[in-house]
Structure 1
Amino acid sequence: MQPPSRRTFLAFGLITLTTACTGTDGTDAATKAPAPDPDAPVRLRAVAATDTLLSAYDALLGVPGARTDLLQPLRAETAQHRAALAQGIPAAPTSGTATPSATPSTTTLTPTALAALERQTAQSHLADLDAARPPLARLLASIAAANARHATAIGAPPDQPDPATTPAPSATAPGTALPALQQALSAEHAAVYGYGVVGAHLPDDQQRADARTYYAAHQAQRDAWQRLLTTLGTTPTPAAGGYQLPFPVTDAPTATKLAAHLETRLTTVYADLVADLPTPHRRTAATALRDCTLRAHHWGAPTTPFPGVPDPAPTPAVTPS
């Protein structure tokens, strides 16, 4: 896992300042007892769900003829998820401790069942977004996005937004979240512009059809952030008159490279937004993170166990010209 972004360090800095009030060694000044970690219950639930998933991978890998070339890398990423979630939990149990009743047997486990379990694990992480402090919420959303990518890689159809579980924007976001919302809106403005360039350089085939679909999705997300900011009494950041592309786009290969770049950049924006937004809106940002992760994978972007969370090497962004 690559180093966390500067925003993550700032978030952990706030936690450090809070706990420092009880003692310089992280203990209560009066009793010298370790300060309880409010995220511990969430971490324990996430670790348990990930252990069940790891056991399922092990069971399927033990089936003759299993696609080890596909499953082994996905299992390795899942083990990295487990290690990140277990940080700070004293004597966290080792992986692969799920009970037999929690994991399908080797006689019933199939790739389809494993993909369903990946999605189930993602949903369990998302269900705890509101109970986690911002840095852990950001990690949970990132891992849930990776779970969705795993399910798609195994062979399940792509996830679709669920209006029943994705909260609609409302006027409850505090003023401290406004800069993050404006940043997300600016990133969507750039994505809409970038997809216009992408579509113009793709042949009239399925790739161009996909680009049109994703272009419309980014328009819809842009409009959603504009409505939310307007509801909050803030003027939405307008789109720039033009944008400087990070590299020349002259043909289909460079067009797909730009699409992958746009989606990858947005995963970082939305992972940070999960941490910045209050609990009613975290699920909305996490859904956007998942969708960008799947689109980046579709365009051939390099995969990462933690979409949006690693701090990538500096790359040129699409900026106003």
Structure 2
Amino acid sequence: MQPHSRRTFLALGLITLTAACTSSNGADPNGAVMPGNKGPGPDPDNPVRLRAIAATDTLLAAYDTALATPGAQTALLQPLRAETAQHRAALAYGMPAASVPPAPTPGTPTATPTHTPATLAALERQTAQSRLTDLGAAQPPLARLLASVAASNALHAAALGAPLDQTPDQPSPTAPPTAAPTPGTSLPALQNALSAEHAAIYGYGVVGAHLPEDQQRADARTAYTAHQSQRDAWQRLLTTLGATPTPAAGGYQLPFPVTDAPTATKLAAHLETRLTTVYADLVAAVPTPQRPTAATALRDCALRAHHWGAPDTPFPGIPEPVPTPTATRQS
């Protein structure tokens, strides 16, 4: 519905996000949604989580091997390993201790080939793909976590030197859906994603106007075009479902004044970071055929946020599920 005022708050960060599947989720003391099973009986997510934990353990062992290599880039690798350990803790949260294999001990390399940043980047991308492959088999809260961790794997690959466009093979965000989601609970989340894309497009218009005519402005144009394409995809999908796509507002109030190139790049980072939250929630809200598309959008926004200087986090788009004493990495 069109708002009463043509000037609305910027949708990214100031709108009320649609919560998905919150009634049966556990939560940590800080209120973060957890994937753990809280009811009686076996957790149907356990097979998916055990596969995700095994893939994470392979990564941890590879980092330990790389860190034990003479001349290892410790300052780069140690924070990435610490974040990978946080992924493992989140994936294992709520599982009986006896069912979770022991984690590799830090500093104890296994009998694996020597790992370099390039081979670690390839392994991070491979691990991200395995998370996304399991999206359809997971319950919504775990699917949300898997998509977030896959985005973090992509950020790790970028930190290790992989080009930002070398990401796991996934359907294009603008590709036609393979099956239409069931109208109902997914519609508010889809409309919310569309509203957020409207706001991002407006925001990038402001960003581009304050950047010099150089590579930064070219990057802003590329991001602007990507968000237009994603907006169009959501509009088509909503129309297919028989819903009226939410129109763009006439204007949006920015979260802070944008007056020069530094504040413009800060706004771009803000836009992309807020969109990761929108898309993490969307992964949990839509039916399984649409989860890869939402997860791809989450990953792409996380990579663009990284490009614009936003600090990386272990769980793009969601609060940290398992508090740990390890400091998070700053890009």
Q: The TM-score by the shorter chain falls in which range?
A: 0.7 to 0.9
Query: Counterparts of 1:33-48 in structure 2 under 5 Å?
Result: 35-48=41-54
How many percent of aligned residue pairs carry the same amino acid? 74
One-letter identity of the residue aligned with 2:311: P
1:26 CA drift (Å): 4.3
Q: Does 1:192 align with 2:201?
A: yes
Inter-partner Cα distance in structure 1 for 2:59 and 2:172: 23
Q: In structure 2, the residue corresponding to 1:287 is in which secondary structure?
A: helix
The one-letter code matched in structure 2 to 1:168 is: P
Q: Secondary structure at the match of 1:142?
A: helix
After TM superposition, the structure 1 stretch with the greater mean CA deviation from structure 2, 158-167 or 144-153, is 158-167
Structure 2 CA distance for aligned equivalents of residues 203 and 125 of structure 1: 39
The counterpart of 2:280, out of the listed 265, 271, 277, is 271
Kindly state the Cα deviation for residue 280 of structure 1 after the two structures are TM-superposed: 0.4
User: Are the aligned partners of 2:128 and 2:168 in contact in 1 as well (CA < 8 Å)?
Assistant: no
Matches within 5 A, 1:74-89: 74-89=80-95
* Structure-1 residue corresponding to 2:7: none
Counterpart for residue 104 of structure 2: 96
How far the C-alpha of 1:7 sits from its partner, in A, is 6.7
Are 1:11 and 2:21 counterparts? yes
Paired residue for 1:239, among 221, 231, 248? 248
Given residue 288 of structure 2, which amino acid in structure 1 is its aligned partner? T
Aligned ranges for residues 59-208 of structure 1 at < 5 Å?
A: 59-91=65-97, 92-96=100-104, 104-106=112-114, 109-158=115-164, 159-160=166-167, 162=169, 168-169=176-177, 170-208=179-217
The equivalent residue for 1:229 is 238
1:213 aligns with 2:222: yes
> What whole-Å deviation, never above 9, does each CA across 1:209-257 have from its counterpart, x for those lacking one?
1001000000000000000001111110000001100000000000000
Change (3 A) 1:204 1:146: same
Amino acid of the structure 2 residue aligned with 1:58: D
Distance 1:148 1:179, change over 3 A: same
1:118-144 Cα deviation digits (max 9, x unpaired): 011101111110000000000000000
Distance in 2 of aligned mates of 1:296 and 1:196: 16
**Residue-by-residue CA offset, 1:47-102 (whole Å, 9 max, x unaligned):** 000000000000001111111111111110000000000112222122128xxxx9
Partner of 1:56: 62
Matches of 2:22 and 2:276, distance apart in 1: 20
C-alpha spacing 1:265/1:165, structure 2 compared with 1 (3 Å) = closer
Which letter does structure 1 place at the counterpart of 2:104? Answer: G
Distance 1:163 1:60 in 2: 29
Letter of the 1:274 partner, please give it: V
Aligned to 1:284: 293
| Compared CA separation, residues 274 and 78, structure 1 to 2 (3 A) | same
Q: Residue type of the partner of 1:80? A: Q
Checking the alignment, whether the CA contact within 8 Å between 2:155 and 2:312 is kept in structure 1 is no
Distance 1:65 1:283 in 2: 39
Structure-1 residue corresponding to 2:33: none
Give the Cα separation in 1 of the matches to 2:22 and 2:206: 39
Q: Which runs of 5+ in 2 are unaligned?
A: 1-15, 27-37, 321-331
**Size of the alignment, in residue pairs?**
286
TM-score (norm: length of structure 1): 0.84
